[in-house]
Amino acid sequence: MAVSLEPKDRELLGGGRGSGIALAMRVVVRVAEAMGAEALLDISGAHIDSCLYHGPSGIDFVERLGADGATVAVPSTLNVSSLDLVEPGRFRGSAEFEADARRLMDGYVALGCAPTWTCAPYQLDRRPGFGEHVAWAESNAIVFANSVLGARTHRYGDFIDICAALTGRAPAAGLHLDEARRGSVVYELGDLRPELIDSDALAPVLGYLVGADCGVEIPVIVGLPEAQPEYRLKALGASAASSGGVGMFHAVGSTPEAPTLEAALQGRPPTRTATITAEMLRAANGRLAPQAGQRLGAVCLGTPHYSVAEFERLHALLDGRHAHPKVALYVNTSRSVWHEVQLRGWADDLLEAGVRVVQDTCTYITPVMDPFEGLALTDSAKWAHYAPGNVDVEAALAPIEDCVESAVAGAVVRRTAAWWDDPR
């Protein structure tokens, strides 16, 4: 299908802003054609994942774009990188990889992108509003923007993200359009214990179960207490985007396009309905849960990057206690959030408690953790899903309360029994 182009699009294609922008525009148009878009639309911002180093092609591409002096047309934030530039000595990879990763990062900053280095751009001061079109990459950011903010972005990947940022244009297709945002699969919470339904432990496991089941469809979750806090919705979306290809979900009573089930479905019947049972949750949790008696070597929190609210919980749970000397307690976060934590007076307490703050990157994607033996416990289904393959560790999911108690005790502690209780 031919894409109808506006005069400004044709100007960019013709090299009116240089060969780098012309290349970016060719990519945007070809993607639009592949998506069946009839036109392009303006975006107000972008979030770039291409800054995470995966090989020399990434450097070649960004430097090709920058050779003509190309700069982004809209405010653009940068995803996590492969390095913690605040404490670069943490990196345990090769000097060649480190140099290439820095070169890639420098290339994107040279294009005018903001050096935010976070997978959670929705925790920055400025985030897109309801109905605002953006071009975001990074799976958890995409699902959060669409679901929790009600902004509109399709699932953009590497290279497409920066091309949209350079041109300020994106295909008028996919999750930018009303029809594509309609919920299709309804998940009803069954006869679960009330303390489980209204617990922080539920969101990552529920998301992991739903994502694996629905793939790229849009799930609608019925039965959660209304007005769920953002950190729970963040955990739910991130895990669903890890086990499946979810780019958006609706939680009835909590997400802006789902005040009711009918609204989430846009007045049409679902393709199917499923009931979430305690047995299903136990099975999903079991795929990520720790094995009894395993030695604990590390606790890794903050995937996606920890928010101020999550640091507040961690500070309260530690309550002046210190992590066991044989257990490394890591928290991944952004520079902006950690600055706010410092302003609130929690940073010294957390550091004194043994918390190791990792910024600019994440412990599940690059070798920044000290060597350890045993299990790595995490409150993130995403971390538990990806870390074994990415950084060769044995990972296990547990609620934040159990993570903290385990870090302090120096051994896996299970105090959250709701997973194993029978339905009421």
Q: Please give the Cα distance from 21 to 195 (Å, whole number).
A: 54
- Residue 158: which of 40, 42, 47 has the closest Cα? 47
Percent pLDDT > 70 in the chain is: 97
Query: Mutual orientation of helices 381-391 and 202-214 as an angle, nearest 10°?
Result: 70
Q: Please give the Cα distance from 399 to 34 (Å, whole number).
A: 42
For 7-176, CATH number? 3.30.499
Q: What would the mean pLDDT of 51-65 be, rounded to a whole number?
A: 96
Task: Flag whether pLDDT at 421 surpasses 80.
Answer: no
Q: What is the pLDDT of residues 220-247, one digit of tens each?
A: 999 999 999 999 999 999 999 999 999 9
393-404: b or e for each residue (b if 16 or more CB lie within 10 Å)?
A: bebbbbbbbbbb
The domain at 296-420 falls in which architecture? 2-Layer Sandwich (3.30)
At 302, the pLDDT band (50, 70, 90 cuts) reads: very high
Residue 420: per-residue pLDDT? 46
Residue 291: per-residue pLDDT? 65
Q: What is the pLDDT of residues 277-300, one digit of tens each?
A: 999 999 999 888 766 568 999 999
Q: Please give the Cα distance from 137 to 373 (Å, whole number).
A: 34
Domain regions of the chain by residue span: 7-176, 182-286, 296-420
Task: Flag whether pLDDT at 270 surpasses 50.
Answer: yes
Task: Flag whether pLDDT at 422 surpasses 70.
Answer: no
Percent pLDDT > 90 in the chain is: 92
Residue 423: per-residue pLDDT? 43
Question: Which residues make beta-bridge pairs with 221?
Answer: 187, 251
Residues in CB range of 249: below 8 A, 6 or more apart: 143, 147, 183, 207, 210, 218, 219, 220, 221, 236, 237, 240, 255
> What DSSP letter does each residue of 312-337 carry, written as one string?
HHHHHHHTT----TTSEEEEEE-HHH
Whether the full predicted model's pTM is greater than 0.85, yes or no, is yes
Query: One fold for both 7-176 and 296-420?
Result: yes
Q: Strand, helix or coil at 96? A: helix
